[in-house]
Amino acid sequence: MSQFWVGLTGGIGSGKSTVAAEFVRLGIQQVDADIVARQVVEPGTAALEAIVQQFGEAIRNSDGQLDRSRLRQIVFNDETAKNWLNQLLHPLIRQEMLRQLVDATSPYVLLVAPLLLENKLDQLVDTVLVVDVSEQTQINRTSVRDGSSESLVQSIMAAQCSREERLARANQVISNEGSSDTLPAKVAELHRIFLRMAEEKLAKSLT
């Protein structure tokens, strides 16, 4: 198993997935919190059945999948419903992330989570890597990618850690401004650092 865990995070539009893909290209496994959040509510899971019981059959698509957009609309303005959903899903997501992290076999493993710091998932990892861009870049990239209005992107950003707080809590920072041509070299350098840190942790555990 991978004994060294790297938490990878960044604000919306920072390019976390692009950075993570570079690490994967180097043979490093990743556990993606967003993917895990979908896995725990797949058809046939107890969590999906609980959500259907709570909100009705209309919350399920014709193909049996959870209608995530309808669920977001329900909980967006209903604090009670949101709290109920969080109490159901957060422990399940955390448990499944831990299972996947423990099962990883690469020299170290990435935990990719947009809300790594907000949900205190940084307590699970050995080091925190923040993908950093300016707030204007976040707005521009997300607006182009999702077709979202600037005000919507700003409201999402307001619900996340500020850029200053993320940087203050980071152990490593990778800038993803400008051209992506320089990204492979930056990731390769961090890869060497994490390999060394993983080796050092393993050596300590054997003494």
Is 201 marked as a binding-site residue? no
| 17-53 burial: b if 16+ Cβ within 10 Å, else e | eebbebbeebebbbbbbeebbebbbeeeeebbebbee
φ, ψ of residue 42 to 5 degrees: the values are: -70, 160
> Is 18 labelled as part of a ligand binding site?
yes
13 labeled binding residue: yes
Select from 89, 74, 108, 107 the least CA-distant residue to 36: 89
Residue 205 in 3-state DSSP? helix
Structural Rg of the chain based on CA atoms:
18
Q: Residue 109: enclosing H or E segment and its boundaries? A: strand 109-112
| 186 is annotated as contributing to ligand binding | no
Please give the DSSP secondary-structure letter assigned to residue 181: G
| 179 appears as a binding residue in the annotation | no
What single-letter DSSP state applies at residue 60? B
Is 2 assigned to a binding site?
Answer: no
- Binding positions: 13-18
- Binding positions for ATP: 13-18
